[in-house]
A and B are shown apart, each in its own frame.
Chain A
Amino acid sequence: MKFQPRSWVSWGLAASFLLTILTGLVISYPFREEMPLLSTVGIEGVIPFGALFRYLHYYAAQFTFLFLFWHTTEALWARSYQRRHFFHWFLLTSTYPLTILALFTGYIVRGDETGLSAGRIAENLILTLPFFGKILNRLFFAVSEEGIHRAYITHIFLSFVLFFLLGIWHFRLRKIKLEDLSLWATGALALSLLWPPPLEAPHFQTSLKGPWFFLGIQELLRYLPPFGAGIIFPLIPIILLVFFPRAPKRAGWGLLLWHLFYFALLGRGLLR
């Protein structure tokens, strides 16, 4: 029988994304973008139930990313691209890096050491891009000039737009079951109780680590110039994903090798 993307993974992705949106809505009320760290700490330490919602938001977002990775892998394995027009496939695969961008900007907006450093690094990396660097930086980051403002806008807009457009076009929003939502909320809750998400204070560190999924690029920056490590290298899997339908075997091998290499870099970065 032909392999199909498993429904629990697909609906786990949708439910986690919805949970991220809902918890994000709650914590956006006490969050003040002009004082990001202060309000993040306030959400955790002063507002009743603030910590709980922040932790749920963090873990639901992590689930979303992991499910997206899994779902994409399954979709490729199931040759879903064969049932889609290339343009549709292109639109669908472009949501993958955009979801990562939404997740990444979430780290920036909390305004702690990890977030601010991640923002500065991202800004400097994107500025190495010829012609479009400045525009894209203005659109998504510009942290050195505007603090977290652009990143916050990106975080909120991108998350909403992605979720609701995908909910209309790629899956049926109204078909998300309360059961799935509760299941992944339970998972996020369990992790929240066991391991409160990180919040890095600006002390004593001689080296700073960015978001965990970004550590591979951070590691590669030690060996390659910013344009190579921060632009060309992450572009490779996106291009391979987009053009997967044209040369599935070669693109598949390319993606596999890229990810093996990236996980090795990630492991090295985590162990530092």
Chain B
Amino acid sequence: MKRLVLLFGIGLLLVALVKEGLRKRASQVPVTTSGQVEMCLSCHQERPEKVHSREVIGCSPCHGGDPLRIDKHLAHRGLIKNPADLRVVDYTCGAPSCHPEMPERVKKSLMATNRGIINTLRRYWGEIPENPRFREEDDVAVLLNEKSVSSLALDYFRKLCGSCHLWFEKGKFPDFLGEKGGGCVACHLVPGPKEAKHPRLTRKIPIQNCVRCHNRSGRIGLTYQGLYEDEGYGTPYIEGDFGEPFLVDGRFVREIPADVHFKAGLVCIDCHLAEETMGDGKAYTHFEESVEIECVTCHGGDGTTRKGRKVSGVKKQGNQLVFITKIDAKVLPLKAPDALKCRHKVHRRLSCQACHASRVPQCFGCHVRRDPRQTQLDKISGQETPGAWEEFRSYQRLEEPTLGLKGDKIVILVPG
């Protein structure tokens, strides 16, 4: 027996020696500038942008894993592909030494909760009372933990709207859906140079990142850039191919005059503050409660929003207020509203858009149909579940908007 054990020992020793011979060893122990041991750096050559540079931060504070190990199977235990995912963000981006205040704020923001969409949908469909009060349960985070779906409106939301929120897992779904979501990186990620082998994180969020979601309903992201989602089905066909550009999800668009701000080089984040997009720590039901920028903040105002926060782009140069764009630091003069036209007493109830929005896309006759015999992907749970929804519309047009009353104010009405 003892001999057998000893033979087994010799066999094991041989295995250990061969394993040791084949083992990849580092030439030295890599250490970040903060003195953190990061063995990951001995294999991985990825180079994120300067702020999150490998020499300063390393890999593991964001991507987890075991930075003390060199063996791949040990080093990659607990690895996180997307550290910005809201499920892990408390420990990654939201670590005490990084952005600790952000996860809580972002999770309360409308882009994470979709509270406005859920609340309005359920209200319109008669599932909840008319009174549009704040409801804690109207939140994607709550739906993520729901075992079964007992509401038609929620089933509709899960299948047709469920990919436009920050809880959506980046890369989990195929095609264009794979690009969406991902928590912080839904907005803050841009492709890096090929040799860097790592995308870049940025505060200069390009419009494409916003329009990945903000392209339906009011279609603000498209109209702003001078794109109109039309029903031409790609006609006229040219040389056997579609004559119109189309979006990643297959919808055809036609070029129309872009918004004046877009032409001037402004993107969404030039006007929309961090508190609007990432939340200000308060949980709102509707986006109009969250949005604080107004036209008069910059045009006629000093850059202070209706909630008293400063728009960072508005600066004083000499005696004049100017706007400095975030992406390329362009200096633009800020024009005050025409004193005669805009301040005239007969126009005092008009919202700026009532005159300045010369055309808006309007979608009429919206109908949905649910076929219980088919299945459809529930984008919240990631499961194919019974019931497939289909959307129909009677017609769509690009026209001067209809004006209507909201309280005392004359505003534009955009059926979407």
Contact = CB atoms under 8 A, between A and B. Distances in A.
A42 interface: yes
Given A38-B29, A203-B64, A183 B70 contact: no
B68 A201 contact: yes
B20 A37 contact: no
Contact of B6 (A48, A186, A204): A186
Interface of A: 37-38, 40-42, 44-49, 51-52, 112, 179, 182-183, 185-186, 189-190, 192-193, 196, 199-204
Interface in B24-58: 25-29, 31, 36-37, 39, 42
B20 A201 contact: no
Contacts of A196: 69, 71, 74
B230 interface: no
Contacts of B69: 44-45, 196, 199
B287 interface: no
Contact of A189 (B12, B28, B31, B61): B12
- Among A40, A41, A190, the most chain B Cβ lie within 10 Å of the Cβ of A41
Contact of B39 (A41, A49, A192, A200): A41
Given A48-B25, A204-B91, A189 B9 contact: yes
B12 A48 contact: no
A46 B20 contact: no
- Among B16, B42, B64, B68, the most chain A Cβ lie within 10 Å of the Cβ of B68
B37 A38 contact: yes
Interface residues of B, number: 34
Nearest to B78: A204
The dominant DSSP class at the A interface is: helix
Contacts of B395: none
Given A112-B68, A190-B12, 9 more contacts: A41-B39, A41-B68, A45-B42, A45-B69, A46-B29, A182-B9, A186-B5, A186-B12, A196-B74
Nearest to B24: A45
A52 B25 contact: no
Given A38-B37, A199-B68, A201-B67, A193 B9 contact: no
5 contacts: A179-B2, A183-B2, A186-B5, A193-B15, A202-B36
Contacts of B20: 48-49, 51-52
B17 to A, nearest CB: 8
B195 to A, nearest CB: 26
B262 interface: no
A183 B37 contact: no
A38 B60 contact: no
A96 to B, nearest CB: 29
B406 interface: no
Given A41-B39, A45-B42, A46-B29, A203 B6 contact: no
A40 B37 CA distance: 11
A150 to B, nearest CB: 22
B9 A37 contact: no
